[in-house]
Amino acid sequence: MDGLKRQAAARALEEVRDGMKLGLGTGSTAKHFVDLLGEKVRSGMKVVGVPTSEATGAQAEQCGIALSTLDELPRLDLTVDGADEIDGNLDLIKGAGGALLREKIVAAASDRMIVIADDSKWVDALGRFPLPIEVIPFGLAATKAAIADVLTRHGVGDKLTLRSGKDGHAFVTDGGHWIIDAHCRRIPDAAALARDLNMVTGVVENGLFVGMARMVVLAGANGIRVVHRA
């Protein structure tokens, strides 16, 4: 599986040109992309990266990739990131690593987003993977109840789990927030659900990336498959 992820990352790297301003994703597949990009940089390629997490930033620095921020570079040429689920519309669930807020901000600031994954992430419909919802810690019980109401209205169940960190306490994102994972099973209308979740007071952002990916690179036993948004 790790080899497949690296193959997908290598194919995405073919889309990178000298002088580009890049969003650098977070997660196991994006980590391969940053490693391979670092090899290109050490061979003379000039790029600037905006990391989507503290972990990615530290890795990019170790790889010798020049870094910046969206305050200095408010528009990027390309973001390359992974996904937890991808459907036929190229809509995504992201956030298993807890970086969904920064990932979505960086993707929205990019002219193009490429998603890299092994082909197990390709699904008929989003929802089997728990949907991360980033929330403010204050008033958690009220926020959870409002989220459950939204999920029930959308017919996707109301099972919610507060994500725990390795220490057993609530997982804390780079932004200082918590994450509620919603076990939806199958999401019939991702755009509508994303909109309604973000209307809940206390919700910062959700892990539905709708209409953002322009290209998906899937690596599987039969090789690389590239899917473009229609």
User: What amino acid positions are annotated as catalytic residues?
Assistant: 103
CB 59, CB 31: distance < 8 Å: yes
The β-bridge partners of 216 are 115, 227
Between the CA of residue 132 and those of 108, 117, 179, 181, 198, what are the distances in Å? 18, 18, 6, 4, 12
Nearest Cα residue to 141 out of 176, 183, 178? 178
Report CA torsion sign: 224, 225, 229, 230. positive
CB 216, CB 230: distance < 8 Å: no
CA pair distance 86, 174, nearest whole angstrom: 24
Q: What are φ and ψ of residue 187, in 5° steps?
A: -105, 110
